[in-house]
Amino acid sequence: MRKNNEHQLEALKAVKEWSSVLLSVQAALLGLLTIFGDLDSAARSDWRFIVLVTALTASSLISANVVGAIPSMIQELADHPIDDIYAMRNRWGINLSLLAFGQHFFLLVGTVALALLLLFGSPPLKAKPRPNKPPEPTTTAVTSPAAQEPRQP
């Protein structure tokens, strides 16, 4: 690698590390929501929960794309030196600057939704337990002639 690319290489490594940290935090938060949250009632009762899960999922997917795109960008940097790493593109032609903005934007939206949910959200509705009732008898047609005879006292 040429000497003038060392700064860009270090910058790409820093972006990759930062995106990996964001991805880990978001995955842990989504995992905690899955384990400890009452997802069915929360999704029905509060729009903030839906925004939170959607934003964190979007940010996680974009972060994974950034982490996956960095190795090919490092290889490309050796062949085609560039001054601004954020002008580099992934396999689908999306700028690194747009990817970085997207992951931070959706993380911010998810963080605001989490704060609003914690401050103003109603607690998830719990399903009311049904009382245990014996099954209701079913009526069936009797076809046996012996069963149709009237009973004598």
Q: Global pTM?
A: 0.66
Q: Please state which of the ranges 37-46, 50-59, 73-82, 107-116 shows the lowest mean pLDDT.
A: 37-46
Residues in the chain: 153
Q: Render the burial of 60-80: b for 16+ CB within 10 Å, e for the rest.
A: bebbbbbbebbeebbeebeee
Q: What is the rounded CA–CA span in Å between residue 115 and residue 147? A: 69
Mean pLDDT (whole number) for 143-150: 59
Are 142 and 58 a contacting pair, CB within 8 Å?
A: no
Render pLDDT for 7-63 as a digit per residue (tens, 0 to 9): 888 888 888 888 888 888 888 888 887 776 666 655 566 788 888 888 989 999 998
Per domain, the residue ranges of the chain are: 3-122
